[in-house]
């Protein structure tokens, strides 16, 4: 058996934490998905981010800050000098935010503007009638025809204008009906989007719909298939920004935590509109048009990932708070180590193929009760109790992503039978990941509780070597014969979970991730 190197380091996909096991940076393996803001440890590990001091990049028109040419046409040499002067002048000034095709990128939105951005997105969905995550925009063909009628060539202009005026007189009544219907529908639907929309006063929404109808639109329906800069689409952009600013100045959005100063920034709101409408909503709409039902499936799986991520975070925080061995903390940190839940009326636990029964018992009998006690001691008045995870007998079968082998978990996360049946390449992934638990006879014996906080050397001598003897661990010669594969090397969060003899505690940084 080759010596176990505790100095391996893992890399995760972009925006996902990397788990470090020592100073040796050789030999990298992908970690499980632990990058959702709901799953990253918030106060249990030391984190470090690489400061991004370079401004956002993107394509688009640039602003010239050079000297103004007042002498008419210039020669090529003079133009070059002017360009150089402009470049030097620009380098001494604050760089403006780069523009892109779909407005402002989410990561470029200032932190103090994010609640306003969320409220603006809810408002856009409301006037579009998209009250759930699975609702998508309809085709704008009919709406464009209605809008284009006012610009049609007619023989009797006077009669045509009279008809348009008569139509606008009915806008107030129609707008009230639209506002009433929107609020009624929002209150009938259960969900965060509908709940937020239902909090906007109906009278103010009626004014918004009046603005939309009097502008010549049949309703608020952007054209996702046409040019963004078309008159039709730019009218929608103007109406969305102006109407949102009206609601903000009228304090109709107080329940949505809108920052009035941010809401006054017309350019920022316009960029937010472009990004959300022609980025997020357009992408979801095209996905659903190509394959009906795909959006619903995507949201369902996303909810399942988030549910499992929240469970992993709670258990990891609990393990860190109890000062358990680093391999145990590392196991709790990896999302794939936990059972995923069926997202629905009940959170039904599913099977985890190959998982050692000791792992499930420790999670359920040690970490979960400790987490619940901590929650009760620190609960706030009116705080909602977490939904109970239902365990049927037998458990529901594993989901399509529940069979993924978790990386960075100690080898005894799996049963010996499961590991020994894996391929050589798969077994090699767990050579240096250590051992988390003693044999089942000692894991839950109160007389042997000291194993939970032991250092690596002492634990391996007393318990770990006996556990490791059950597994067919590849030799170094066998590992050397495995062809190296390309591994992503992203600059991500560093989390020190090295298995050492010093188990007095981890360096803790309360900085929010």
pLDDT tens-digit readout, 345-361: 345 566 778 889 899 88
* 350 in the same domain as 491: yes
- Mean per-residue pLDDT over the chain, rounded: 74
| β-bridge mates for residue 347, sequence order | 389
Lowest mean pLDDT among 1-15, 210-224, 316-330: 1-15
Output 415-420 pairs: Cβ under 8 A, ≥24 positions apart.
Answer: 415/354, 415/355, 415/356, 415/357, 416/470, 416/471, 418/353, 418/354, 419/354, 419/471, 419/472, 420/471, 420/472
Alpha-carbon dihedral 476, 481, 483, 488, rounded to 10 degrees: 0
**Distance between CA 384 and CA 243 in Å, rounded?**
35
The answer to whether residues 206 and 176 touch, using CB atoms and an 8 Å cutoff, is: yes
Global pTM value: 0.48
Instruction: Over range 444-450, report the average pLDDT.
Output: 92
* 278 in the same domain as 190: yes
* 445 in the same domain as 330: yes
| Stated length of the chain | 513
Q: What is the pLDDT of residues 33-89, one digit of tens each?
A: 333 333 333 333 333 333 433 333 333 434 333 333 444 434 444 444 444 444 444
Q: Which pLDDT band holds residue 401 (cuts at 50, 70, 90)?
A: low
| Residue 69 in domain | no
**Distance between CA 357 and CA 362 in Å, rounded?**
9
Q: Is the pLDDT of residue 492 over 90?
A: no
* 322 in the same domain as 281: no
| Residue 97 in domain | no
Lowest mean pLDDT among 36-40, 239-243, 283-287, 294-298: 36-40
Q: Is the pLDDT of residue 423 over 50?
A: yes
Can you give the pLDDT at residue 204? 96
Q: What is the pLDDT of residues 188-198, one digit of tens each?
A: 988 899 999 99
| Closest C-alpha to 278, from 46, 403, 102, 110 | 102
Can you give the pLDDT at residue 414? 94
Can you give the pLDDT at residue 172? 83
Cα dihedral 417, 420, 425, 431 sign: positive
Which stretches does DSSP call E strand in 254-402?
A: 341-342, 347-349, 389-390
* 447 in the same domain as 368: yes
Can you give the pLDDT at residue 158? 74
What is the tally of structural domains in the chain?
2
Instruction: Over range 495-506, report the average pLDDT.
Output: 52
* 180 in the same domain as 260: yes
* 449 in the same domain as 353: yes
**How many other β-carbons are positioned within 10 Å of the β-carbon of residue 273?**
25
DSSP 281: I
Domain of residue 231 covers: 135-292
* 358 in the same domain as 213: no
**Distance between CA 402 and CA 348 in Å, rounded?**
13
Can you give the pLDDT at residue 295? 67
Instruction: Over range 278-284, report the average pLDDT.
Output: 90
The answer to whether residues 508 and 46 touch, using CB atoms and an 8 Å cutoff, is: yes
* 325 in the same domain as 237: no
Instruction: Over range 234-243, report the average pLDDT.
Output: 96
Instruction: Over range 484-502, report the average pLDDT.
Output: 51
93 or 359, which is more confident: 359
| Continuous H helices in 9-60 | none
Cα dihedral 363, 365, 370, 375 sign: positive
Highest-pLDDT range among 355-364, 461-470, 483-492: 461-470
| Residue 102 in domain | no
| β-bridge mates for residue 349, sequence order | 341
Can you give the pLDDT at residue 95? 44
| Residue 452 in domain | yes
DSSP 102: T
**Distance between CA 352 and CA 405 in Å, rounded?**
10
* 277 in the same domain as 229: yes
Of 258, 292, 326, the residue that ends a domain is 292
* 308 in the same domain as 198: no
């Amino acid at each position: 058996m080759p010596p176990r190197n505790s100095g391996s380091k893992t890399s995760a996909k972009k925006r996902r934490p990397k788990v470090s096991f020592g100073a040796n940076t050789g030999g990298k393996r992908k970690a499980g998905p632990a990058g959702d803001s709901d799953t990253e440890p918030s106060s249990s590990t030391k984190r470090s981010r690489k400061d991004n001091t370079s401004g956002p990049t993107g394509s688009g028109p640039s602003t010239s800050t050079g000297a103004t040419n007042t002498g008419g046409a210039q020669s090529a040499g003079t133009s070059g000098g002017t360009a150089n002067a402009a470049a030097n002048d620009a380098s001494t000034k604050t760089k403006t935010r780069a523009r892109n095709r779909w407005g402002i990128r989410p990561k470029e939105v200032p932190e103090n503007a994010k609640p306003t951005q969320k409220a603006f997105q809810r408002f856009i969905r409301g006037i579009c009638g998209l009250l759930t995550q699975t609702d998508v925009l309809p085709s704008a063909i009919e709406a464009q025809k209605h809008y284009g009628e006012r610009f049609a060539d007619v023989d009797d202009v006077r009669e045509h204008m009279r008809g348009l005026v008569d139509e606008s007189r009915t806008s107030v009544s129609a707008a009230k009906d639209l506002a009433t219907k929107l609020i009624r529908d929002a209150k009938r639907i259960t969900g965060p989007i509908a709940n937020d929309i239902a909090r906007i006063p109906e009278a103010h929404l009626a004014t918004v719909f009046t603005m939309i109808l009097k502008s010549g639109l049949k309703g608020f329906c952007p054209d996702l298939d046409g040019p963004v800069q078309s008159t039709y689409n730019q009218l929608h952009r103007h109406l969305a920004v102006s109407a949102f600013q009206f609601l903000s100045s009228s304090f109709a959005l107080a329940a949505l935590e809108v920052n009035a100063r941010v809401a006054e920034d017309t350019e920022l709101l316009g960029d937010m509109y472009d990004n959300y409408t022609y980025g997020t909503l357009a992408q979801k709409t095209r996905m659903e048009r190509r394959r009906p039902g795909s959006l619903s499936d995507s949201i369902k799986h996303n909810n399942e990932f988030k549910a499992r991520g929240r469970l992993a975070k709670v258990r990891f925080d609990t393990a860190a708070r109890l000062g358990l061995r680093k391999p145990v903390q590392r196991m709790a940190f990896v999302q794939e180590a936990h059972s995923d839940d069926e997202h629905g009326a009940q959170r039904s636990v599913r099977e985890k193929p190959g998982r050692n029964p000791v792992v499930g018992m420790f999670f359920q009998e040690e970490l979960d009760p400790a987490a619940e006690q901590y929650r009760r001691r620190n609960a706030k008045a009116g705080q909602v109790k977490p939904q109970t995870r239902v365990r049927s007998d037998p458990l529901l079968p594993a989901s399509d992503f529940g069979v993924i082998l978790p990386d960075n978990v100690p080898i005894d996360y799996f049963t010996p039978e499961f590991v020994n049946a894996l391929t050589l390449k798969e077994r090699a992934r767990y050579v240096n990941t250590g051992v988390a638990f003693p044999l089942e006879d000692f894991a839950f014996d109160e007389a042997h509780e000291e194993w939970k906080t032991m250092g690596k050397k002492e634990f391996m001598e007393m318990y770990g070597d006996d556990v490791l003897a059950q597994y067919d661990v590849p030799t170094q010669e066998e590992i050397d014969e495995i062809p190296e594969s390309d591994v992503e090397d992203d600059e991500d969060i560093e989390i020190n979970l090295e298995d050492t003899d010093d188990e007095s505690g981890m360096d803790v940084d309360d900085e929010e991730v």
